[in-house]
Amino acid sequence: NAGVTQTPKFQVLKTGQSMTLQCAQDMNHEYMSWYRQDPGMGLRLIHYSVGAGITDQGEVPNGYNVSRSTTEDFPLRLLSAAPSQTSVYFCASSRSGQARDGYTFGSGTRLTVV
């Protein structure tokens, strides 16, 4: 099992560009989420999904879009990149839609916006 796979691992964008961070899991997990990690601020939830076709906003959703057309995939779209979006992005999945199962994280995407 690959677990949670994120691509790309590194990305540099210019301000105003758009891009999609990919996330795929092969564990048949219903729940998937995106976090960003900034120094000294822990992990902050951007968007999450409790199943195919269902998404919702987390703590810091502005500037990001998500969709969940399949159980396996949960891409994160940056609409118009800004320097404030420079961060490390983690995708995570868990078995159920309730926060009572441990999360499996991908290896992360390190994004720099210049």
> Which is closer to other proteins, CB of 18 or CB of 26?
26
Please tell me the distance from the alpha carbon of residue 11 to that of residue 7, in angstroms, as a whole number. 9
Looking up tokens 């989420």 gives 33
The nearest distance, CB 6 to other proteins, in angstroms, is: 9
The nearest distance, CB 26 to other proteins, in angstroms, is: 17
Distance of CA 20 to the CA centre of its chain: 10
> Which is closer to other proteins, CB of 63 or CB of 97?
97
> Which is closer to other proteins, CB of 14 or CB of 28?
28
Strand locations in the chain, DSSP E?
Answer: 4-7, 10-13, 19-25, 31-37, 43-51, 54-57, 64-66, 76-78, 87-94, 104-105, 109-113
The nearest distance, CB 100 to other proteins, in angstroms, is: 6
> Which is closer to other proteins, CB of 14 or CB of 40?
40
Q: Helix, strand or coil for residue 84?
A: helix
Contacting residues toward other proteins, per CB under 8 A: 31, 33, 35, 40-45, 48, 50, 56, 58-59, 90, 92, 97-108
The nearest distance, CB 102 to other proteins, in angstroms, is: 3
